[in-house]
Structure formats: structure tokens, C-alpha cells
Amino acid sequence: MAKQERVTRFSVSLPDSLLAELDRRVIRRGYSSRSEFVRDLIRERMVEDKWKTDTEQVVGVLTIGYDHHQRGLLQKIVDLHHSQYINILCTTHVHLDRHNCLETVIIKGRPREIERIAVRSGGLRGVRFAKLTRTSTVES
């Protein structure tokens, strides 16, 4: 069971227009409170900062859409994933239709290494879509 951390309240002053926009986003994204929304914004920034420093290991989810009939593409993808010092934690492969596959690859490693894999994957002939979602562990 997680230890309950002490919570501190503080106030923030915002112009009415910015507060109205904050409230619209809280409602649109289904948050239960402004506080939860602000906590998530802070966590997002912490993840972004980890990815910028390149000093810690992070986690990324690479989503690739491709034509599985493209000659040699699957082997190139496998070779690429085995060629770097990264840790492929998990892959999921789904057949979307007769020609197209969707693959998600959960990768742990240094940001620069993960980004290199994502860019190189997206550049392979037959890959129609490649997107890297950056994430990591954050405190609290």
C-alpha cells in the first residue's frame, strides 16, 4: 500500500480569462478538480524535463503502422530493435486489415537512444505511421 504523502495547499492568482480556460479543460478532460489537473500538468513537465536531460533512463511507447507486405520490412524492424542499447520491455502486434499492421513497442533506455529508434523506424520503407509517446516515472 502506498504511503500517504502530506498535502500542502497554496493559492494561485489567475486572470479571469485564464481561470475560465482552466475550468473548461478540467471539465473537458474529466478531472474531478482543478488540483488534479494542475498536478498532472506538473507531472507532464517533469517527464519532459527527464527526456531533455538524457541522464536518466526513461520509458517510451513507439506506435508503428506499416504494410506487412513490404518486402524485408519486418526483419528491418527486428534488426533495428536489437541494434541499440535499449531494453524492449514489450511489443504488441495487431493485424488491422489485409495489408496493415499496428505495433506498439514499450522501450526503456536513454532518451536519445529511444528517439533514434523512433526516427529510424519511421523512416523505413513501408512504415506509414510512427509516433513516440514519451513517459517516465515521476515522484508523487
Domains contained in the chain, CATH given: 16-53 (1.10.1220), 58-135 (3.30.70.1150)
**Helix axes 111-122 and 34-53, enclosed angle (nearest 10):** 90
Task: Kindly indicate the confidence band of residue 140, based on its pLDDT and cuts at 50, 70 and 90.
Answer: low
Model pTM score? 0.81
Answer positive or negative: Cα dihedral of 117, 119, 125, 126: positive
4 φ, ψ to 5°?
-75, 125
pLDDT tens digits for 106-123?
999 999 999 999 999 999
Q: Does the pLDDT at position 26 exceed 70?
A: yes
pLDDT tens digits for 34-87?
999 999 999 999 999 999 988 889 999 999 999 989 999 999 998 888 876 678
